[in-house]
Structure 1
Amino acid sequence: MAHQRSSQRRLSRDSDTEDIVALLAPRLAHFAGVARTEHVTRAAREMNVPQSTLSRALARLEQDLGVDLFARHGRTLSLTPAGHTFLASVERALAEIERAADAVRADADRTTGKVAFGFLHTLGAETVPGLIHAFRADHPRVRFSLVQNYGEAMLERLRAGELDLCLTSPVPDAPDLVGRRLDEQRLRLVVPADHRLAARRRVRLAEAADEPFVTLEPGYGLRRITDAVCEEAGFRPRVAFEGEEAETLRGLVAAGLGVALLPPPAVPRPGVAELTVTAPRAVREIGVAWLAGRTDTPPVAAFKEFLLSRRGRLLP
């Protein structure tokens, strides 16, 4: 019966890899410690574990693998050829685990840790560099991993655990996310410099109802806002081009391809006129989002608190 139980625990060659890892991983450090000292008592003392625990771990490891890793010589041990082969891989695996542990501890360090931060393309020229510069005045050694993308893509990366925080628009309303409004940005009707409306400073959006529009692709927050504001103004925009980046649209407006509803540029662009939209109200909310229920590391908590403290004055 004992032999049968032992055989049942033994791993077959076609065992699932995840099962093998789950079974063997807790015993690898014990094996490496005994292999280093070639003595169970000495290894148990160095590793601060009971000798009986260590002996049982080695016996089970050999049973699970179905091979002898050690040759016993009284109180001392020596590695078998199979043990030497196994040890080389175990030492590499343990070293990799140690490096991974060091990396995640470093990322969570209060003063030198890392924040994985996403933001919209339109916030990359001025807003985000200014925020990071201001934050690092008090946290000079905190590191940032930055991702620039459109809103929905960043929210998916939040859900996947690839980002800690992101600046996005519109502010998400989903049960698995937390969103906080930080500021709002007035959108402008951008027209070519020689356009019939270019000499105006203000315009009702309905006055552009017959114009071709250049817009971002469906799925972008700014595209949804453009469609909604145009609908409120009483028309559906006639789309001449769909792009992925606001400044590209601004260039296409300058080339006469159409008009666009866009946030202010970081630097004024020649060839276009930017008009204040008086009706309907054309704004986009900018907010910060994070995954609900996740515990923040100290650097992430500090940066989140900093962003929330900038409510109403996030944008330059």
Structure 2
Amino acid sequence: MEWQQLEYFRVVARTEHFTRAAERLAISQPALSRSITHLEETLGVSLFDRVGRSVKLNAYGRLFLTRVEKGLQEIQDGIHELQQLKDPYTGTVSLAFVMTFGLSLLPDFIGKFNQLYPQVKLQLFQNTTAGIIRQLLDSEADLSILGAIDHRNQLEWQKLLDEELYVYVPAKHRLADRDAIRLEELSQDPFISFKKGYSMRALTDQFCQQAGFTPHIVFEGEDVATVSVLVSSGIGVTLIPSFTGITSNKIKKLRVTEPLCRREIGLAWLKGRTLSPSADLLRTFIQSYFQ
């Protein structure tokens, strides 16, 4: 059994079509078919059910695919680690983060990391919490910064900080001259929030429920810039972390005294996966930065 055979099997399993798989692998279809046949003979079981020109993974194939993907990922990680060990301060690290975290903290610590380790290349991804979890589980991201998660059996999560959330209202709002409010005072106001799947949307719903009401969402956005612009235009109010660049003649930030509106932010990575030296370097830096 060869590594190449396992890679061929993975591509056929994902496409469930020999012609498309052969095109993706840049080999002839007969050569691909022979490779899969030899693999099945070695294993002593059929991995696919043949249906015309298409194939479909059977129970044996699905079980084997799970192991193959883990094994190939380990091999790729090993090759990557060996390459980076030539110089532990070079390499590429992928970091995914929730969109609202990038408002102020991210540029600061990324800038300091780049100053210390200028040869380490960072790949940054903004995503929803659900999207980030998928990236970690699929090994598309080495590390991530996101709120508390429920996937502790698959992911490691380490708390970095507590972050306060604020209400932002239009400058001409009836409460704009206040410094702090109770969230229940906005029970009749239209809310501008994030789409479902974003952690800030879940937190907004949660805190409003604690205050005794269900928020009336009039717009669902994907980024803080859009949300804040709509608040400044007078369409509604929002609940988000503090951010810079606002003008007090258009939008006003208010503290929430009740309920306590805070969120936990943490660092996550795939449990059991050995991080590359560069990724481990970034993880250690982030942990130290937020201590």
> Is the partner of 1:198 in helix, strand or coil?
coil
TM-score when scaled to structure 1? 0.65
Secondary structure, aligned partner of 1:137: helix
One-letter amino acid of the structure 2 residue matched with residue 284 of structure 1: R
The answer to whether the 8 Å contact 2:104/2:243 transfers is no
TM-score, L = length of structure 2: 0.71
2:267 paired with 1:288:
yes
Alignment of 1:98-247 (within 5 A): 105-106=82-83, 109-247=87-225
- C-alpha displacement of 1:141: 1.1
CA distance in 2, matches of 1:284, 1:170: 8
Structure 2, gaps ≥5 residues long: 1-28, 41-77
Structure-1 separation of matches of 2:80 and 2:151: 33
Q: Matched residue of 2:272: which SS?
A: coil
Report % sequence identity.
Answer: 33
Question: Quick check: 2:84–2:277 contact (8 Å CA) kept in 1?
Answer: no
Which of the pair has the greater relative contact order for Cα pairs under 8 Å at 6+ separation?
2
What is the CA–CA distance in structure 1 between the aligned matches of 2:137 and 2:35, rounded to whole Å?
24
Partner of 1:273: 252
3-state SS, counterpart of residue 16 of structure 1: helix
Cα separation, partners in 2 of 1:298 and 1:254, compared to 1, 3 Å: same
Give 1:21 deviation, angstroms. 9.0
Structure 1 counterpart of 2:174, one-letter code: R
Match for residue 36 of structure 2 among 19, 25, 37 = 19
**Aligned-pair CA distance for 1:18:** 4.9
Q: Could you say which structure has the higher strand fraction?
A: 2
- The superposition leaves residues 277-316 of structure 1 with CA deviations (integer Å, 9 ceiling, x where unpaired) of 000000111111100000011111111111111335xxxx
User: In structure 2, what is the Cα distance between the partners aligned to 1:17 and 1:230?
Assistant: 61
Read off the aligned partner of 1:228 and give its amino acid letter.
Q
On the 8 A contact 2:109/2:289 being kept in 1, the answer is no
User: What is the root-mean-square deviation in Å for CA atoms of aligned residues?
Assistant: 2.6
Aligned counterpart in structure 1 of residue 286 of structure 2, from 274, 297, 307: 307
Q: Which runs of 5+ in 1 are unaligned?
A: 1-11, 24-100
Q: Kindly tell me: are residues 14 and 107 of structure 1, through their superposed partners in 2, closer, same or farther at Cα, counting changes over 3 Å? A: closer
